[in-house]
Structures are given as structure tokens and as C-alpha cells.
Amino acid sequence: MDVSSMIMGGAIASVMWIVFVPWSKLRRLRELDERTGRTDGD
């Protein structure tokens, strides 16, 4: 494996990480909001 392919793999991995982590946090926050909304409102 040469250096350019290692750099390319690192860039792809970092982009995937940057996309995946906030998405999972948003999903968790949305679930918490639904839970608190159900208990508080209706």
C-alpha cells in the first residue's frame, strides 16, 4: 500500500466519521425530545 492510497483512505474515513457521529447524536436527541414531549404534553 502506497502513501497516496493511505492518505485517500484516511480522508474517506474522516469524512465518514464527521458525517456519522453528528447523525447518531441528532437521532438520540430526537428520541429524547419525543420521550419528554409525550410525558409533558398529551
pLDDT on residue 4? 95
Give whole-number Cα distances, 24 to 1, 6, 20, in Å.
Answer: 32, 27, 6
User: pTM to 2 decimals?
Assistant: 0.50
**20 has a pLDDT exceeding 60:** yes
Higher per-residue pLDDT: 1 or 20: 20
Give 21-42 pLDDT, tens digit per residue.
Answer: 888 888 888 888 888 876 655 4
Take residue 26 and report the three cell numbers written for it.
441528532
* Cα–Cα distance, 27 to 35 (Å, whole number): 12
**3 has a pLDDT exceeding 80:** yes
- Type of residue numbered 16: M
Higher per-residue pLDDT: 40 or 3: 3
